[in-house]
Amino acid sequence: MNFSNRAYVTGGAGFLGSHICRLLLQKGFKVYCIDISDNYRIRDLKKNKNFFFYKASILNIKKLKKIITKNSYIYHFAAIADPLKYVQQPLKTLDIDLKASINIFELASNKKCKIIFASTSEVYGKNSKVPWSEDDDRVLGSTKINRWCYSSSKAVSEHYLIAYAKEKNLKFVIFRFFNVYGPSLDSLGNGRVLTMMLDRFLKNKDVLIHGNGKQTRSFSYIDDVVNGVVEVSHNKKCENDIYNIGSNKEIKIIDLAKKIKKLGKFNSKLKFIDHKKVFGKSYEDVPRRVPSLKKINKFLKYKKKTSLNEGLKNIISWHKNINF
């Protein structure tokens, strides 16, 4: 099946989506950004004659049917991925991350489009066998714990893609992202660990370390990740499969905080706080999150070139100087 040079990016004004839009434009694609927000992340892209913005919710499938053309690429990156939001708003998370995704997969199948789907390392849950490989078991907590609705939404979406491929010949590539970061990640004080910490550091407030700080994460810089996504997405040998993407170098959260403090020359004190005081009772933490990258590295020609120190300096500088 031959695909056109049209790429539709849901969540195209989000962190990952905006960087995908930018790289696709550089590669000569006509890029159609679909998002509920027309924000600062895509401000510079509007000057490009091959960039088109549609203000639309992915829940509005009728609107998407009018926008998306046949034989195109659909980068489905729209989702609720903020831990605090999916703990506090599980129904909205399920609607956007699962219900809307299923509708988009059906649309893609009918229009013979190829889906590039942003899944997550969260699908592995609490599996203690690390590093995680793509075929490893999912180990989750109780369905009464809202924390797992995000993981489940993404995993069921993966099931749907695999089923559509088998029964309706839909083409897809699934990426499970591991803590991607960079400038414009989140608004300060919101979202993920880096921007939560930076907000406190920049305001010279005590930086709150959740739990004992010994939990580990693996951080990968945005430029390296999006290059890998686009490279693998357009390789026919990679179709209809799942890939971990990110870094396999883990760091303890307490050590991450110390590193940011040193690199940014901040004066904040580090203090510990229980997860439940931040997220409530409907949250469980994962002690280690590390990917195996053996599978995706077979297909990547580019070399990851951004060290954690360099990437952190970039995001610190960006948040110090950004003017919305």
238-278 per-position pLDDT tens digit: 999 999 999 999 999 999 999 999 999 999 999 998 867 66
What are the residue ranges spanned by the domains of the chain?
6-182+220-248+290-305
pLDDT > 80? residue 65: yes
pLDDT, position 282: 63
Instruction: Choose between 276 and 54: higher pLDDT.
Output: 54
Residue 9 · residue 17 · CB < 8 Å: yes
- pLDDT over 90 (residue 2): no
Does the domain at 6-182+220-248+290-305 match CATH 3.40.50.720? Answer given as: yes
Q: How far apart are CA 120 and CA 131, in angstroms?
A: 15
Q: How many alpha carbons lie under 13 Å from residue 292 in its C-beta half-sphere?
A: 13
Three-class DSSP category at 61:
helix
DSSP 8-state class, residue 132: B
Interatomic CA distance for residues 312 and 131, integer angstroms:
23
What is the rounded distance in angstroms from the CA atom of residue 69 to the CA atom of residue 56?
A: 16
Q: Which residues contact 277 (CB under 8 A, 6 or more apart)?
A: none
In degrees and rounded to multiples of 5, residue 98 shows phi and psi of -120, -60
Determine the Cα–Cα distance for residues 41 and 22; give it in Å rounded to an integer.
10
Which stretches within the chain are classed as H helix? 15-26, 61-67, 83-88, 90-94, 100-110, 148-168, 193-202, 222-233, 253-264, 275-279, 294-297, 308-321
